[in-house]
Structure 1
Amino acid sequence: MSHRLKVVIVGAGIVGAATARVLARSGCDVTVLDRGASAGGTSSGGEGNILVSDKGPGAELRLTQRSLAAWARVREELRDELPAGFPDLEFEHKGGLVAATTATGAEALLAFAASQRTAGVVAEVVDAHRAHELEPDLTRDLTAAVLYPQDAQVQPVIATEALLAAARRHGARIRQGVEALGPVLSGPTITGVRTSAGPIPADAVVIAAGPWSGDVAARFGVTLPVRPRRGTVLVTARMRQRVFHKVYDADYVGAVGSGAADLMVSSVVESTAAGTVLIGSSRERRGFDDRIEARVLAALAAKAMLLFPFLAGVQVIRAYGGFRPFVPDHLPVIGEDPRLPGLWHATGHEGAGIGLSLATADLLHDQLLGLATGDDLGHEFRPDRPSLTPHLEGAAA
């Protein structure tokens, strides 16, 4: 190309990393900025889920299905792009098992699974005998269960660092400890970024700062309704493996789709390669308050024991939390901001950013480079979509 497109990406989490890699592979001049360490925010605070089980038919499910295919492809590509000895991504199609313990929960779960099957999701209704073959320690108080064999998981920090390492191999620069302060403008158009380390020229700026994206967007003179949604996870002591899938109660889907600010807790239980068990999940909007509270831990533990009674006798060794990027209409924001030419967004994935990172990067790549995609999926996530427009205010500074 006669002019290499200069792209500055704000945020070195997994979405920024995936975007940097795919753009650098296409020959773009890419710089990634992060005011902290890479994978230091939301990407380090989750379980690495790539789930179809919690998504109904629609744009986000289609993006997830595209991302699952992308993970299979990119895993193979990274074998050639990473140095020998780089840690394994720990990608695993471990599958998900969703369990209901009430008649109301069973009715909702079975109806939801039926709708998903119409969109190509493998959602297998299993009886109690089969459920206990899959998970011998699961509660006997089952009213329904659905197996989702397509659900997968990846180690999120390793995956982020792998994508960044591959981006570097293709010429990208990763600048940690550098903060984006605002745009450099030529008339109404971005020509660079003001940073704590001086200006950086850019034809395009991508905000991929997770729950901090709203704050970053404000520095560029636009309002973006991305807010932090707090989550907390309990970690048990190591034990022999007694949980074999990602197992969660049927309330989880409702919690994911809720816009409530108050504390919501549903049970999500899974084992790790290290032999611990992770117990989630809570959702609460309280700004960037990062305190871990006893009331949340108690609620998580109580819910988990309803699914796996044996957990009552297991020691918890620690708890950790993080912030998901919440958007009012529960869809990611991907695409160019019509209020400021040259400003792009790749954020708002809430708890699905790990899984959706590769498909998000591919969408943004095609849009930035003006490539025809053959479908209209990207339009579903544009910043000026009708469901988000009421929440948008502000023009270029």
Structure 2
Amino acid sequence: MADFGGADLDAFRADARAWLEANFPASLGKDPEALQAAAMSPEAPTGDYAVWKERMGAKGWGVPTWPAAYGGGGLSAGEARVLASEMAKIGAVNPIGGMGVGMFGPTLLEYGTEEQKRKYIPDIVTGKVRWCQGFSEPGAGSDLASLQTKAEDKGDHFLVNGSKIWTSGGQYADMIFCLVRTDSSKKHEGISFVVFEMHQPGVEVRPIRLIAGSSPFCETFFTDVKVPKENLIGPLNGGWTVAKRLLQHERSGMGGRQGEGGNRSKADILGVVAKKYVGEDAQGRLADSDLRHRIIANEIDQRALQLTVRRAALESRSNSGPSAATSIMKNANMKVAQDRAELTLEFMGNQGLGWEGANFTAEELTAVRGWLSGKAGSIYGGSNEVQNNIISKRILGLPDHILQH
């Protein structure tokens, strides 16, 4: 669909507003915190949130710009921005997400066969099937291409043996997209990209308990797992190219989502909470002027990042998808988020040191655990150092010998 402006977008805005008014459950808009919690929960949706997810999935607006032929919204970029704006105005969040939307789906649309797209994309669009990622291994993290999980050719199928680590949401996933070694004589050129079911003999998942108390990551073990040949995405031994594209999509998502509208900025929300601990001056402002300055500086960084994400999204339309610039956005987004978490604990003072107990509110405990969880953001999806190397070589064009000194 063409990205028309003016009257065309005005007409779409009216249609989108009417559809949202008729389909977004009013109860969800009354409790934004509960809505965000439901959106982040790994558990199956219930109640009005389940209704909202079903309606958005059926409409295809969870992935508004994906092709309508596979169940997507089929909207132009301009229409998608209008939709995001109208959703923000009523406090609606997109209930369709996860790795299928942010990573595998966009990659499959580029590299998958028509049969594969029709098989997998519709269930991603509706959120029916959950996906996880099988890339990192105990001995292949930053040097991912040294991975050793092996897929042996058995005629009509591959037999997969090996292990993966840091498998986000592996204990909840139905399917996995996985890098496997199909040629041991080559490094990058011996890797293939396959997908297969998690609920089958030979797949074992062990959640890893992290410092923040949660277990979002897992160890995953494969013992004689059968993978049909038709589950190969892209060419045999061509998985490294597919994986690099997928990682660009992942980092694009980590760089922050494009959004418009909304009633309050993060600085507004942070300032209100800070006043509970620091107090106000005679003008009703946060009493600590230095802290006030740093909260606003963090908001400026956040808004600059959002504008950069929006610009990159528009540029990607003519560049066939995300570029190496996603590495900049990934690092920038993590820095902004980590700075905001540090600010929160700072103004909470001693109340920002709680792990558990009646002396701390739920808000304080959440802040502490969120601060701890956020530390991993500079590592997963490619560490800050890996991203800096990508930026140096692929954007700045610095030669390798300079980077080694």
Q: TM-score, structure 1 length as denominator?
A: 0.28
Answer 1 or 2: which has greater helix percent.
2
Answer 1 or 2: which has greater strand percent.
1
Larger Rg: 2
- Higher RCO, 1 or 2 (CA under 8 Å, sep at least 6)? 1
Q: TM-score, structure 2 length as denominator?
A: 0.28
